[in-house]
Amino acid sequence: MSGQILEVSGLKKRYGAVEVLHGLDFAVAAGERVALMGPSGSGKSTLLNCLSGIERWEAGSIVIDGFDLGTADRGGLERLRREAIGYIFQAFHLLPTLSAYENVELPGQLIGMLAAERGERVAELLEAVGLSHRAGHRPDALSGGERQRVALARAIMHRPRLILADEPTGSLDSRAGAQVLDLLKQLSQDHGIALLLVTHDPATTEICDRTVHMRDGRIQEAP
């Protein structure tokens, strides 16, 4: 195995006649934290959607944890999404009818984790994000920062090796954002999880090992 958790080569994607990714090459090493920056419209979300198997692409390859997304069938993609990858979104995407505890527990249920192990792990993760005392609250009873910390615990519940995040601090004030970033870094370090964080926020780049810049559907080489 190479030391890469993610390898993208020659990736091209178009919508109708318009090509929006023009042949991207980049890789993320196991446990590495990478910030992805670029002006609006440069293709960051499109790239993340390809990496998460939501969008198909026209040319090039994506390999995650040794698994070639291009040749995967629906079942294989679904397994990869459930097992190897964790997701964090700007708008949290927690299920509104479930408590914090149940939201974190869900990915464990999806991969068939046993109830006793789930219970232990949810308790441990809520403790790690400082929300043990909020376990029974639904998302609408939590602050933005608390919701994103629940989302963080949920993203690592199933022990992924890679977290993909689109603007994880984009909905938070700077104090709540800083807390989420500290936690992301800590969890990445403690569990060897690689991060690919799309961001406009310079504070996010500070918890990363390096920053990749995108413009007009291309990766810009470092100056």
We find the least distance from the C-beta atom of residue 201 to Mg ion, in angstroms, to be 13
Write out 114-160 in H/E/C secondary structure: CHHHHHHHHHHHHHHCCCHHHCCCCHHHCCHHHHHHHHHHHHHCCCC
Say how many C-beta atoms besides its own lie within 10 A of residue 39's C-beta: 12
C-beta separation of 135 from 101 below 8 A: yes
4 scored as a contact of Mg ion (CB under 5 A): no
38 scored as a contact of ligand ADP (CB under 6 A): yes
132 scored as a contact of ligand ADP (CB under 6 A): no
How many binding residues for ligand ADP (CB under 6 A)? Answer: 10
| The only residue of 5, 24, 37, 44 in contact with ligand ADP, by rule CB under 6 A | 44
Of 55, 36, 80, 50, nearest in space to 168 by CA: 36
We find the least distance from the C-beta atom of residue 142 to ligand ADP, in angstroms, to be 27
Distances (CA, A) of 59 to 50, 71, 135, 171: 12, 12, 45, 34
Nearer to Mg ion, 48 or 84 (CB): 48
DSSP 92-103: ----TTS-HHHH
> Looking at 37-45, 121-129, 146-154, 203-211, which segment touches ligand ADP (CB under 6 A)?
37-45
Contact set for Mg ion, span 27-46 (CB under 5 A): 45
| The only residue of 46, 169, 179, 204 in contact with ligand ADP, by rule CB under 6 A | 46
Q: What does 15 bind: ligand ADP, Mg ion, none (CB cut-off 5 to 8 Å by kind)? A: ligand ADP
Distances (CA, A) of 70 to 62, 113, 165, 192: 7, 28, 21, 26
23 scored as a contact of ligand ADP (CB under 6 A): no
In the complex, the residues that contact Mg ion under the rule CB under 5 A are 45
In the complex, the residues that contact ligand ADP under the rule CB under 6 A are 15, 20, 38, 40-46
